[in-house]
Every structure is written in structure tokens, then in C-alpha cells.
A and B are shown apart, each in its own frame.
Chain A
């Protein structure tokens, strides 16, 4: 895929979009809470990838996780920009910087959690889905999945353990400029 993008194959760009647009859009929507803002992030992220296909390093992880990371960073970057802009506009009434950071962290954690859920092994996700969204107890979950009760308990616990790591995700400390979009303008540039 990376080679095809680098070669300038429009069909590859379409396939990239088909594979990752919903991932990018939903992460952005979780962070920014707005459809329009998520549309914009989607344009920016795909624009960045299309213009900089070589910035993806397969050694650093899967294409999917890289795309998710770009979307996450760009969304948080925009959230922070919007927070700063509103702080300027509102002057004295602006929320405390600490409060803004708290909001940013919460949005970032929520997006990270979404990503973990969509990326976790399907059996774990299926167990969480049954127990949480379908309100099945773990014995019913086991029966629905055709596994032992031990296994159902294991999956629920492991799934939540994975999910809980979203809280550890401190990818975006405010003080580090390196955390803004990778290598210069990138997705930050807006046509």
C-alpha cells in the first residue's frame, strides 16, 4: 500500500480511505465531539498520508496503528488549538489551563479506548459486547460464545485490562512541541 501511494496511484488512495476512514473519523469525533470537525480531521489526515507516504515506517507498527496515531494527534492538536483560541477570546472567563488539559486528556483517553476496543482480538470484544451492551451475565456470555465459564471470565477480565491501559496513554503531554503533527505542516495545513 505504501509503495502504491508513493507511486501516486489514486486507486490506492481510495482503498486507503475505504479501509481507514471510519477509524479516523470516529477517533476524531470522539476527541472533538463534532461531525464537522471530524470531517476536517479526516481530510487532513488523508491529505497528509497522500502527500507524505514515506513518513510511515512499517518497522514502527502496523499501518492501521500509524493512521490511528495520526488521527489521534491531529484531533488533540485541533482540540488544543480550539481551547487556546477560546481562551484568548474569553479572556478572564476562560477556563483554567489545568481544566483545559483535563478535558483534553479525557477526550484523548476516550479516543484511545475506542481504538483499543476496535483493535482487541475479536473474542475479547465479543465477550465485552455481550456482557456490557447486551447485559448478559458471564454464564450467559459463555453459553452465547460456546466457551467455558472460566474462559468467559478470562475474556471479560482481559478485555477490561486492555481497555484500562487507555488511562496510561500519555502520548500527548502539552509541553512537548514534538507532539504536534509530525514533520512540519503535515495535516496541520488547511487548504
Chain B
């Protein structure tokens, strides 16, 4: 409906486009004599612009009178043979005619065809539909050429077009051209670029010309994961946005889940990213729907979903989310090192320094993108090893606090020894194998204590993917496939604490 407008607007945009000069004014080939006649001949509008097509609003040519739909006077063998109704119309009594003239560009096309009716009425008066056997007029056949080339007409129309081509050279030329063009149509390639290509390309560029304003290292995983999710979303159709998605996490010592849609997940991600955005002084993506006062990820997500359910906010879509993530990356690039320790409130008094908040967000993007990919049955790749390592490291660093809050909640026994802050204490050796893995020494007695190999009382070894699944709350701690050695109580505590890092 906005075809012509868009096209007109686009032309100046793209002078390289060889399509532009050819088609700027009209759909008709300028080499086609019949087409060049078109503006004068209302019976051969070339571009049909019936009611409601938007064709009437094209800006290029003089306003045309919509051609009558009845076939009566269209039956002439060639356009020339029909009385040129457009010419006389300006010479008709001007008042009824000139009134509707400016109208055709208005979107209300419905009343429009009836308005010029009086002018053409004399020609039409008393005319009845033509007898069936007559072939369709030239203008109709010409307008069918595209559909014909695509084999998208009825059998009768196909036959009529092909008959016509034997004695109309311009149409025959065009028909050949269009049929060749059909051969150029290819199914769109699946656009799933290798996600690792992005980092290779960007690294290559930055090796050739170093950035004056780099993306901070700690924001790189966020940059990569948002780009990867964006690539997944860009391939999805409207229906897939409403595909059901199951979000799982681990809360109150058991698995929890929530059902939403792909759009709901993007709303969730955007709402939680808003915590980081507002900490940086950027606008809140939830706008008026934002909860009053400090709110954590859960409250913000509920507020977002509620606003959408009530019709107070539109469904989350790709572009606003993507714009926000680009803005965040850009903002921290400019802020540089000054903001790495900026506290991002996560609700309930919990805070993360900005650099960790970006890692936490990157991890969540990966996990939820995986949920989306699973829902729409797309493959999805794990983060690059270096990024994965930073994410595992964040989880390992958060574990001592998670252990302490389990103790406070009475879910774990009190520490066996009191350890001074900064002193070595009982330690669990967390060995994460595979991509992004490494060794971490988790202090068990208090968040202030220092984990050390000498004081290791337990050892867990598991694959990095398994560890991330556990930390995402996708695998219950009891079922985690982990090699275990040492104090069972300590191992159980750490596995449960890891799962408790997950949230909606």
C-alpha cells in the first residue's frame, strides 16, 4: 500500500541503483511505446491504480482519473482505438472535476472513484459488460505480464497473454525480460553467519587500525552475546515471536519455571538491562511502566509483562532492545575505566560492580537465547572460550556470598571454623573442564576468607557447559554430572549455591 511512496523516497537514497532511473516515474518501461502513451490514456494506466491501492498517490505523474472497472469501452483492440477520456476531462465543466483532483493522493481511496464518475459517466452511460469471448484489453494483458512470468495467473489468462504476445512486440519484449528476471530469484540464503566470524572480523579490523575508543574488555562478552542473539532474532518470522518459551531456574531449593513467549523473553532481557542502563544514567526502557523505587530483575520483569498484558506497553521487539544494547556498549566505551566499579543495584540490597553486571548480563543473554533457540528449534552456539571463562569466573567469585546467604537462610550448617577476613580457610577446589574452564578455590567458611589449595577439603570437577547449566538453574544440583571427592557436605553446599545463582 505504500509501495510507490517508499520507492520514490528511496530513489535519491541510492543513485547507484540502476533500477532507479528506469522506474522512477512509472512501472512501465520507458522503451515501451505503449507505456509512454500511458499517462495520456486512462484506459492504459500501466500501473493500475484502482481504489485502495495507493497507486493513485504516486507523485510523479499528473493525477489520473481512475479507469472505469467495467470492461465495455476497454474492448478496443488497442489503446489508441478507445476514446481518450483523460484528455477531455479537464475540458469538461471544471467544477465537479477539479474538486476531486487533489483528492487522489489522500489515503481515503474508497470515495475517490465515485467522485470522478460524473465526468466519465457519459462515456459509460448505458454500457453493459462486454460479451464474454472478447480477449482482455491490452492494458489488462500488460498488467498481467509479471504474474504471467511467475506462472501466477489462471489458465485462461495465461493463454490470453500468450496469444497477445504473438502480435504485440513491446509486450513480448517485456515478457521475455520479466521471465529472465524470474530466473534471478533465489531463495534467501539462511543468514546464520558463523557467530565467531564477528569477533574475527572485528579483531582483524582493530589489528589494522587500533580503536581510539575501544570497547572495554569486560563488555566484550556482552557485545558478542547480544550480537549473536540479534542474529537469531533477525531470522525469525512474526509467528516465531509468539512461540512459547519455557524459562527455568532454581529457587528455594527446587526447580522453578515460567512460561512466556519469545517476545516475553526479549521484554525480560530489556527490563533487566534497564538496571544497568539506569545505573549509567540512561533512560529506563520500561518508561512509565517501571516499578516505583528500587526494584530487582524479577520485579522489573513482572512490571514489564504486566504493562504488556494490560496494553500499556507494546510487545517487546527486536529494534528497541537492540538499540538499547548498542547504546549500553557505546556508553561504557566512552566512560572507559571510570565506570568499571560503578555499583549496579540488583534489588534487595544486592549490587554488582558494572564490569560484573555486564558479565552477568552476557551470561543471561546466552542462557535465554538458548531458551529461545530451543523453542524455535534453531541451533545456538556457546560463547567464545575467553568469554565463557569470564562468565565461569564471575560465578565462582559469587559463590562465597551465595554460600553465606544459604547459611543465613538456614539451608546450610554454620561454618565449622571462624576465619578472619583475608585469612586462608577451608576450601573447595572447583575444576571446570573444557572450553573456558580453569581452576578456582572457593573459600567455604566466609566470603571474607581466602580459598587456597593447601586447605582444600573437597574437589569438584565438571565440564564448563555442565557448570553453566547448573548456574543457570537448568540442571538440578542433585543431578549435576560432576566428579566429586572429599567432604560431601561441602560439595552439596557448593552445588546448591551454584544453582541458587540462577533467577528468572
- Residues in A with CB closer than 8 Å to B482 are none
In the bound complex, do residue A61 and residue B227 qualify as a contact, i.e. CB atoms below 8 Å apart? Answer: no
Docked-complex contact B326 and A11, CB < 8 angstroms: yes
**Segment of A40-48, A78-86, A92-100, A172-180 in the binding face:** A40-48
Once the chains bind, are B3 and A43 in contact (CB under 8 Å)? no
Residue of A at shortest CB range from B154?
A: A137
Interface residues on B, range: 35 or more
Contact A123 B3 (CB under 8 A): yes
Residues on B with C-beta less than 8 A from A132 are: 150, 182, 185
* Residues 42-64 of chain A, each 1 if its beta carbon lies under 8 Å from chain B, else 0: 11001100110000000011101
Stretch at the interface among B47-55, B72-80, B120-128, B261-269: B47-55
Does B13 belong to the interface (CB within 8 Å)? yes
Interface size class of A (residues with CB under 8 A): 35 or more
Of the listed residues B7, B19, B194, the one surrounded by the most CB atoms of chain A closer than 10 A to its CB is: B19
Question: A137-B154, A148-B52, A151-B53 known; A10 and B213 CB under 8 Å?
Answer: yes
Q: A10-B202, A65-B17, A164-B180 in contact; A150/B53 too (CB < 8 A)?
A: yes
CA distance A60 to B17 in the complex (A): 11
Known: A18-B227, A62-B13, A65-B14. A9 touches B23 (CB 8 A): no
Please tell me if A25 contacts chain B, counting CB pairs below 8 Å: yes
Whether A51 contacts B208 in the complex (CB less than 8 A), given A14-B329, A39-B194, A138-B152, comes out as yes
A169 to B184, CA, bound (A): 13
Please give me the residue from chain B that is nearest to A109 by CB atom: B184
* Chain B nearest CB, measured from A113 CB (Å): 4
B186 touches A153 (CB 8 A): no
Task: Select which of A7, A46, A117 is within 8 A of B205 by beta carbon.
Answer: A46
Contacts of A153 in B (CB 8 A): 48, 143-144, 146-147
In the bound complex, CA of A39 to CA of B198 (Å): 10
A window 146-184: CB within 8 A of B: 147-148, 150-169
Quick check: B27 and A14 within 8 Å, CB to CB?
Answer: no
A117 touching B185, Cβ below 8 Å: yes
Question: Assuming A8-B212, A121-B7, A160-B181, is B193 touching A137 (CB within 8 A)?
Answer: no
Q: Does A69 contact B (CB under 8 A)?
A: yes
Is B197 part of the binding interface, using a Cβ–Cβ cutoff of 8 Å? yes
A101 at the B interface (CB under 8 A): no
Distance between Cα atoms of A91 and B303 in the complex (Å): 71
> When the two chains form the complex, which single residue of B13, B15, B149, B205 contacts A160, counting CB atoms closer than 8 Å?
B149
**Do A131 and B147 touch (CB < 8 A)?**
yes
Residues in chain A near residue B352, CB distance under 8 A: none
Q: A150-B48, A191-B207 are in contact. Are A46 and B201 (CB under 8 A)?
A: yes
Of the residues A18, A29, A66, A163, contact of B184 by C-beta under 8 Å: A163
B53: chain A residues at CB < 8 Å are: 147-148, 150-151, 154
- Whole-angstrom distance from the CB of A146 to the nearest CB of chain B? 8
Contact (A137, B27) CB under 8 Å given A110-B186, A165-B22: no
| A11 and B220 alpha carbons, distance in the complex (Å) | 10
Number of A-B contacts (CB under 8 A): 246
Interface string of A2-16 (1 = CB under 8 A from B): 000001111111110
Note all chain B residues with C-beta closer than 8 A to A141: 152
Interface pair A154/B17, CB less than 8 Å apart: no
CB distance from A75 to the nearest CB of B (A): 14
Give the distance to chain B from A66, nearest Cβ to Cβ, in Å: 8
Task: List the A side residues contacting B208 at CB < 8 Å.
Answer: 47, 50-51, 191
8 Å CB interface, B145-181 against A: 145-147, 149-150, 152-154, 174, 177-178, 180-181
Evaluate contact between B47 and A160: CB separation under 8 angstroms. Answer: no
Instruction: Tell me if A119 is interfacial: C-beta within 8 Å of chain B.
Output: yes
B51 A148 Cβ-Cβ under 8 A? yes
Q: How far is the CB of B196 from chain A (nearest CB, A)?
A: 10
Judge whether A154 and B187 touch: CB under 8 Å: no
| Cβ of A128 under 8 Å from chain B | yes
Q: How far is the CB of B324 from chain A (nearest CB, A)?
A: 13
Q: B51: which A residues are within 8 A, CB to CB?
A: 148
Instruction: Judge whether A137 and B329 touch: CB under 8 Å.
Output: no
Q: What are the residues of chain A within 8 A of B29 when measuring CB–CB?
A: 161
Kindly list chain B residues whose C-beta atoms are within 8 Å of the C-beta of A150: 48-50, 53, 55, 143
Verify if B259 is at the interface (C-beta below 8 Å from A): no
Contact B326 A162 (CB under 8 A): no
- B330 touching A158, Cβ below 8 Å: no
B215 touches A14 (CB 8 A): yes
Task: Pick from A62, A116, A123, A169: contact of B1, CB below 8 A.
Answer: A123
Determine if A11 and B329 form an interchain contact, defined as CB atoms under 8 angstroms apart.
Answer: yes
Q: Does B310 have its Cβ within 8 Å of any Cβ on chain A?
A: no
Chain A residues within 8 Å of B153, by CB:
137-138
Give Cα distance in the complex from A146 to B335, angstroms.
49
B189 and A113: CB pair below 8 A?
no
A124-146 Cβ-contact flags toward B at 8 Å (1 or 0): 10001001110011110100000
The answer to whether B16 touches A124 (Cβ under 8 A) is: no
CB distance from B51 to the nearest CB of A (A): 7
A-B residue pairs, 8 tightest by C-beta: A157-B146, A8-B212, A150-B48, A156-B146, A113-B184, A10-B211, A164-B181, A151-B53
- Besides A47-B205, A163-B185, 9 other CB < 8 A contacts? A7-B213, A14-B223, A15-B326, A17-B198, A21-B198, A21-B201, A154-B27, A155-B3, A160-B150
Can you list 27 A-B pairs with a CB-CB distance of less than 8 A?
Answer: A8-B213, A10-B213, A11-B326, A14-B227, A17-B198, A18-B322, A22-B191, A25-B191, A26-B189, A26-B191, A43-B201, A62-B14, A116-B19, A121-B2, A121-B7, A128-B150, A131-B147, A138-B152, A138-B153, A139-B154, A148-B51, A148-B52, A158-B3, A158-B146, A160-B178, A161-B29, A163-B182
